Amino acid sequence: MLPKESQHTQRRAIEAQKHILTSHPHLTQVVEAVGLQKMPEIGVQPIPQAMAKIIVSQMLSGSVAKVIYGRIENALQEGENAWQLDEKTLLQCGLSRRKVRTLREFGCRWDEDRATVERWPMLEYEDLVRSVTDIWGLGEWSASMLAIFHFGNEDVFPIADGSLTRAMKMFAETQAQEAIDHTRCAPFRSFLALYLWAALDTGYFSKQGS
């Protein structure tokens, strides 16, 4: 038998899948192809580590971001945060100067007002966006990644995410059916995003177009 937390995660994933298919029956093939999507485990990483990963990932593919963040991790001493590395080291790891500044700006906020940042997981999404985007270099995309992958918010659709935009375009081109309207998937819009990301990762749309 699954632990209670896993049972809850499974139940919510099934509820979300049913809701998405009810609102978008034309997504049935996508959902069946990628399998049941579940929300990521929340609270696995401390916020400073989560933010460093998100900053690294801005405008990059997952594979490239993973390599760069791996270099940063290798450069860190025990108990050290990414923004504490010198600029030369961060640039050598593959960060742009803009991302170095963003990382440092977040580090300043963490050092000066840690209590506010530690409250982020409890905030409503709109309030989280306001607090995150108050830091130089961080936009709504960064807030949405925090909300979905680190805070467990089930109802966030990162409309500005390039991968999701590409997935919806490819869906329209290959399925030739009704367009995807993420608003109809509330309160499970994060799951819709997970299904579309999974479809890209598995090459579903490319196979349909071949």
Residue by residue, pLDDT tens for the chain (210 residues) are 446 668 889 999 999 999 999 999 999 999 999 999 999 988 778 999 999 999 999 988 888 999 999 999 999 999 899 999 999 999 999 999 999 999 999 999 999 999 999 999 999 999 999 999 999 999 999 999 999 999 999 999 999 899 999 999 888 887 766 789 999 999 999 999 999 999 999 998 877 755
What pLDDT sits at residue 210?
A: 52
Domains defined along the chain, listed by start: 4-39+157-209 (1.10.1670), 47-149 (1.10.340.30)
Q: Is 3 left (phi over 0), alpha (psi -120 to 50) or beta?
A: beta
200, 210, 183, 202: which is closest to 20 by C-alpha?
183
47, 49, 40, 51: which is closest to 139 by C-alpha?
51
What pLDDT sits at residue 206?
A: 78
Reported pTM: 0.91
> Three-class SS of residue 78?
coil
81, 76, 70, 69: which is closest to 109 by C-alpha?
81
Contacts of 179 (CB under 8 A, 6+ apart): 168, 172
Cβ atoms of 158 and 147 closer than 8 Å: no
